[in-house]
Amino acid sequence: MIVKKVQTKKGGALKSKALHVRDLCDYIAGPNAGDADEKVEHEGAANMLNVDHAGQVDEMADLAETARRSPQPVQHWIISWRQGEQPTAAQADEAVRIFLDEMGLAEHQCVFALHRNTDNYHLHLAVNRVHPDTERVVTVNGGFDIEVAHRAIARIETAQGWQREERGRYQVLDGGQVQRARTNAPVDRQPTARARDLENKTGEKSAERIVIERGAEVLRRARDWGELHSLLAERGMRFERKGSGAVLWVGDVAIKASTAGRDCSMSALEKRLGDFTSPRGNALARPLAPEPVEPAAAAWKAYVAEREATHSDRTKQREMLRVQQRDRWADLVARHREERGSLSHDWRGKRWQLNGLRSMLAARQAQEKIELKERHQAERGAWRERFPQTPPFEDWLRQRRDPELADQWRFRDRTPARIVGDREDTARPRDIRAFTAEARGWEVLYRRTDERGGGPSFTDRGREIQIHDLRPESVLAALQLSAQKWGTIQVFGSDEYKRLCLDLAAEHGFRIVNPELQNAIAAAREERLRPTPERRFEGTRVRADSVPERSPVRSPLEAYERHLGEVRRQDPGARRDSSRVDALIAVRLRVAGHSREEVERAIRDGAAKQRPVESRNWDEYARRATSHAFGVSGERTFRELAKARDVLLALEDRPRSREPSLDIPRPRGPALGR
């Protein structure tokens, strides 16, 4: 689960408290919130005297107006579940109660609704921080309320059995205490949430990320101000003083120098380099070309080219339209001035006639101005329809290329895969058979020799190696380089990446020293020495000798029941939500060779039979679970389960298929375009 606080827009006029409450509550659970796409699955309210929506909105707005010193005391929070997880109405109510209780707002007003208009169920909450009795505004955790919100998410995941995020901030211990999750991975600076949202929208590296990845190293290694300015200019940046601090310019975007690190602020640099000196001469920064966040992103270059062409055409046509409208308006104003001037002669004794003419002339001119404004507005609307903005990268992939590529971009692995050594070792080119090395500044980029024009597979950054391509050949080459440099190494990244490193370490003898991986490495090496038909997936162990002999399944419903019984038998003490189990069973049925229609029918009939008390739209429920199983979000589980396909077929007493294995290796993320 993830949580997000929706910030109020800083630009433009600030809404009144009453208007903000009304717009927010109507969007969440208003009468028109679920018209076209039926997005509202469940709605409710807490600590309200009124029972109807309009009365609750007025009640919350009246209480919010009492907070004279707070511009917007009503906050908008969003809690989202993973794809394949489908909470019930009772679970949504419980999640709201846990969230408010953890935030210290258990007695405060709240309007909420569970939406399902996207692939992920998500809960919208409008929370009033004004206490209904004391009328005092509560500031949660001194303003750092996002930390408390993450603690609440950990409690909800534990209470309801949802899958924890790989990089979740908090975890719940056996005794019920919530503590911050500990990790041995080095903590890297990350761009702000706003910059990451922009990267996710455009697929392009933000200026903040460029400063963190390139500017920080220059600021730390420069020996004087002259060297600092020249090195930054080579990387397309420039350093300027601003007030008592400093900014780094990346193109036409200014980023605070401290974004690169605390040791990169103006005060820290002056302590190390002396008083600031401006660059000598014309130290112009070279222009920076757009760079993708994910080097292997499919069709990203085509997207950027189309976006730039569209922007150029839109700008050109907009300027032409502005000139035409400006000239047309100037002509109208000049003609109106002449018409008014034509009345400037002797009207003695005819004042009433002059007043009448002036009134009629003003009315006609006002009408002409209104008509011209409406014409201009219609022309601007036609211009927007004719030259629409380039859609976000994911939508562009879905509309112009392949929906599967869009799903791969959306569900790409955002956990950086890295190998870290035990000491600093300057990066230099090293030949690793199928890869070519390219030194670029203080980094060395390794590319596959058989893929011309592709992005780097991994990058040597001195103390660590960052892996961009998670295909086994690339990871193996990176591990070979790491073993040559350091001998002992640590690996950090997603569970899938760590699992691949474990297999390669067991096969090639790499010395991975992560404490939490030692048992798994020993088990993997033992398994290679004494192979058994055993596989582990989703916390469940499947053994061929554990599957009892049964008659062949006669229907998808019977297949569902067998897989459900096997999952429960293999993990008797696991606490998992029923929708998570159904999503797993849908993937198991897919691996076993059932068609999409059969899987959907099995989930619909089986889940409704097992849980008749749940009030659900079982057709929609089964469709979502099946979409997860056959989509990119379920691909990782599918690949893991495909290794035990024969075991799943034996569970249904079906013969082994003669067709090729379903375990088809695929590139990581959106790498199909490489």
* Rounded average pLDDT over 355-365: 87
Residue 366 pLDDT: 92
Residue 548 pLDDT: 54
Measured distance CA(670)–CA(455) in Å, rounded? 12
Q: Model confidence over 609-653: pLDDT tens digits?
A: 988 888 888 998 999 899 888 887 788 788 888 888 888 888 888
* AA letter at 39: K
Residue 538 reports pLDDT greater than 80: no
Beta bridge partners of 491: 419
Q: Is residue 492 helix, strand or coil?
A: strand
pTM of the predicted structure, to 2 decimals: 0.67
Is the Cβ–Cβ distance between 511 and 488 less than 8 Å?
yes
191-205, 275-289, 367-381, 586-600 — which is least confidently predicted? 275-289
- CA 235 to each of CA 261, 301, 574: distance values in angstroms, whole numbers, following the listed order: 18, 21, 52
Measured distance CA(631)–CA(625) in Å, rounded? 10
480-494, 553-567, 657-671 — which is least confidently predicted? 657-671
Angle between helices 266-273 and 225-234 (to 10 degrees): 130
Q: Model confidence over 308-334: pLDDT tens digits?
A: 899 999 999 999 999 999 999 999 999
Measured distance CA(280)–CA(407) in Å, rounded? 49
**CB-count burial class (<10 Å; 0-12, 13-18, 19+) for 372:** middle
Is the Cβ–Cβ distance between 235 and 441 less than 8 Å?
yes
Q: Is residue 556 helix, strand or coil?
A: helix
Residue 664: CB atoms within 10 A of its CB come to 9
Q: Model confidence over 143-170: pLDDT tens digits?
A: 899 999 999 999 999 998 888 887 788 8
Residue 167 pLDDT: 75
DSSP assignment, residue 593? T
pLDDT band at 38 (very low <50, low <70, confident <90, very high): low
Residue 122 reports pLDDT greater than 80: yes
Residue 70 pLDDT: 87
Residue 670 reports pLDDT greater than 50: no
* Domains of the chain: residue spans and CATH: 2-180 (3.30.930), 206-273 (no CATH), 293-339+356-410 (no CATH), 413-531 (no CATH), 541-651 (1.10.1240.50)
Measured distance CA(42)–CA(121) in Å, rounded? 11
Measured distance CA(229)–CA(225) in Å, rounded? 6
Q: Is residue 67 helix, strand or coil?
A: coil
Angle between helices 618-630 and 578-591 (to 10 degrees): 50
Residue 571 reports pLDDT greater than 90: no
State the residue for tokens 């903040």: 208
Residue 659 pLDDT: 44
Residue 664 reports pLDDT greater than 60: no
What SS3 string covers 599-624?
A: HHHHHHHHHHHHCCCCCCCHHHHHHH
* AA letter at 25: C
Residue 554 pLDDT: 84
Q: Which two tokens stand for residue 556?
A: 């998808």
* Rounded average pLDDT over 522-548: 54
Characterize the bridge pairing of strands 511-512 and 488-492.
parallel
* AA letter at 85: E
Residue 378 pLDDT: 94
Residue 657 reports pLDDT greater than 70: no
Q: Model confidence over 395-404: pLDDT tens digits?
A: 888 888 777 7
Is the Cβ–Cβ distance between 337 and 365 less than 8 Å?
no
Measured distance CA(618)–CA(621) in Å, rounded? 5
Can you point out the beta strands (E) in 408-518? 417-420, 435-440, 443-448, 458-460, 464-467, 488-492, 511-512
Q: Model confidence over 257-304: pLDDT tens digits?
A: 888 888 888 999 999 889 888 887 655 666 778 888 877 667 888 888
Percent composition of the chain: helix, strand, coil (DSSP 3-state, to 5): 50, 15, 35
Q: Is residue 543 helix, strand or coil?
A: strand
- Which contacts qualify for 472-477: CB closer than 8 Å, 24 or more apart? 472/500, 472/504, 472/665, 473/434, 473/448, 474/448, 475/417, 475/500, 475/501, 475/504, 476/504, 476/508, 477/432, 477/433, 477/434, 477/435, 477/446
Residue 190 reports pLDDT greater than 90: no
126-135, 274-283, 353-362 — which is least confidently predicted? 274-283
Q: Model confidence over 40-80: pLDDT tens digits?
A: 888 999 999 988 999 999 999 999 999 888 888 999 999 99
Angle between helices 53-65 and 17-29 (to 10 degrees): 150
Q: What percent of the chain has pLDDT over 90?
A: 24
Measured distance CA(446)–CA(431) in Å, rounded? 9
State the residue for tokens 């892996």: 467
State the residue for tokens 């893991």: 640
- Which contacts qualify for 503-511: CB closer than 8 Å, 24 or more apart? 504/472, 504/475, 504/476, 504/479, 505/479, 508/476, 508/479, 508/480, 510/479, 510/482, 510/483, 511/483, 511/487
